[in-house]
């Protein structure tokens, strides 16, 4: 009976908790989520689901066996410094942060433990309706069973598979950002329907249903998407006329561009994190103060004040 914790109580933590509890893969009272910011709209959602919410990241660490890092990438170094001393042998650290490498996390945690068990995953928000897309890679100290455990959790909320770590940035561009491409498409399709006379609600409904059905057909079929497209295009019909417009406008190319841009930006963020000092400007003073007020947090373990390269921090406390 393991416990799951979330450092971070924002969109991702909320979506994962909603999915996990709907799937019944873990009870809400075995879940803890933490954030210094109690004003996030997702905090009340998490509390309503029966999750233990705390402002102390250390408390979330103590109460968990599997610990998801569900904060934005630039916050990861702060968090690792804060909870590093509290990591035990049992902990499995699962980072969901785009562009943050396993080796950068292990490097930081090795200051505190000899063999920190780290996994990196890239998921997406449809975990909230149990139709997520997740990939993960395993760090050098994590065991095969740790991977299986994560897969069990994430498979309860959608598709989940292990990949080589160097594919994760591409996955971010495709299925990490993918839902946003779909929401944009659905808004536009509905506009098209409304232009041709449909009421808005019906247009949104039909557009979303058409995408959902088509995606399901593709997932359930051995056929190439091009073949499925051909099957829908009767000679001289309405659909092939529509497709010509899409092709003329470079529709396909825009989507390739999108995947590429998201992937490139992910790699850029990773590069920035690896190379630059994290300046005090990257975090709000009020947030920092809230963190420092938590029991057990000392200002010497908080590297912002000395503003050194956090991933090469030598001032952390070695256990």
CB 304 to its own copies: min, Å: 19
CB 262 to its own copies: min, Å: 4
CB 168 to its own copies: min, Å: 10
User: What is the SS3 string spanning the chain?
Assistant: CCCEEEECCCHHHHHHHHHHHHHCCCCHHHEEEECCCCCCHHHHHHHHCCCEEECCHHHHHHCCCEEEECCCHHHHHHHHHHHHHHCCCCCEEEECCCCCCHHHHHHHHCCCCCCCEEEEEECCHHHHHCCEEEEEEECCCCCHHHHHHHHHHHHCCEEEEECCHHHHHHHHHHHHCHHHHHHHHHHHHHHHHHHCCCCHHHHHHHHHHHHHHHHHHHHHCCCCHHHHHHHHCCCCCHHHHHHHHHHHCCHHHHHHHHHHHHHHHHHHHHHHHHHCCCCHHHCCHHHHHHHHHCCCCCCCCCHHHCCCCHHHCCCCCCC
The reply, when asked if residue 295 is annotated as ligand binding, is no
The reply, when asked if residue 70 is annotated as ligand binding, is yes
The reply, when asked if residue 7 is annotated as ligand binding, is yes
CB 172 to its own copies: min, Å: 6
Residue 7 or 98: the one with the smaller Cβ distance to its own copies is: 98
Residue 50 or 237: the one with the smaller Cβ distance to its own copies is: 237
The reply, when asked if residue 114 is annotated as ligand binding, is no
CB 256 to its own copies: min, Å: 4
Residue 38 or 253: the one with the smaller Cβ distance to its own copies is: 253
Residue 115 or 210: the one with the smaller Cβ distance to its own copies is: 210
The reply, when asked if residue 35 is annotated as ligand binding, is yes
The reply, when asked if residue 96 is annotated as ligand binding, is yes
The reply, when asked if residue 152 is annotated as ligand binding, is no
Residue 285 or 314: the one with the smaller Cβ distance to its own copies is: 285
CB 225 to its own copies: min, Å: 4
Compute the half-sphere exposure of residue 22: CA atoms within 13 Å on the CB side of its CA. Answer: 17
The reply, when asked if residue 98 is annotated as ligand binding, is yes
Residue 137 or 297: the one with the smaller Cβ distance to its own copies is: 137
Tokens of 262: 């998201």
| Cα–Cα dist 289/111, whole Å | 24
CA 88 to chain centre: 24
CB 37 to its own copies: min, Å: 15
Residue 89 or 166: the one with the smaller Cβ distance to its own copies is: 166
Question: Annotated binding site for NADP(+), which residues?
Answer: 7-12, 35, 70-73, 96-98
Question: Annotated binding site, which residues?
Answer: 7-12, 35, 57, 70-73, 96-98
Question: Annotated binding site for NADPH, which residues?
Answer: 57
């Amino acid at each position: 009976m393991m416990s799951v914790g979330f450092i971070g109580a924002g969109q991702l933590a909320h979506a994962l908790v909603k999915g996990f509890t709907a799937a019944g893969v873990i009870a809400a009272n075995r879940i803890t989520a933490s954030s210094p910011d109690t004003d996030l709209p997702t905090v009340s959602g998490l509390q309503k689901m029966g999750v233990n919410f705390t402002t102390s990241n250390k408390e979330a660490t103590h109460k968990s066996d599997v610990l998801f890092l569900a904060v934005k990438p630039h916050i990861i170094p702060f968090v690792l410094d804060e909870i590093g001393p509290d990591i035990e042998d049992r902990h499995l650290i699962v980072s969901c942060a785009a562009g943050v490498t396993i080796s950068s996390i292990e490097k930081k945690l090795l200051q505190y433990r000899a063999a920190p068990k780290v996994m990196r995953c890239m998921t997406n928000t449809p975990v909230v309706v149990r139709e997520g897309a997740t990939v993960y890679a395993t760090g050098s100290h994590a065991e095969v069973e740790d991977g299986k455990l994560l897969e069990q959790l994430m498979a309860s909320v959608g598709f989940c598979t292990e990949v080589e770590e160097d594919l994760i940035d591409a996955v971010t561009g495709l299925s990490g950002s993918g839902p946003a491409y779909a929401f944009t498409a659905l808004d536009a399709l509905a506009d098209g329907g409304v232009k041709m006379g449909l009421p808005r609600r019906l247009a949104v409904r039909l557009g979303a249903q058409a995408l959902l059905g088509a995606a399901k057909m593709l997932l359930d079929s051995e056929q190439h998407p091009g073949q499925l497209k051909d099957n829908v295009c009767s000679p001289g019909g309405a659909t092939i006329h529509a497709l010509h417009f899409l092709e003329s406008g470079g529709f396909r190319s825009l989507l390739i561009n999108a995947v590429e841009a998201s992937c490139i930006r992910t790699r850029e963020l990773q590069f920035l994190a690896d190379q630059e000092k994290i300046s005090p400007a990257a975090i709000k003073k009020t947030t920092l103060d809230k963190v420092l007020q938590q029991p057990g947090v000392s200002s010497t373990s908080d590297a912002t004040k000395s503003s050194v390269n956090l991933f090469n921090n030598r001032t952390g406390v070695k256990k």
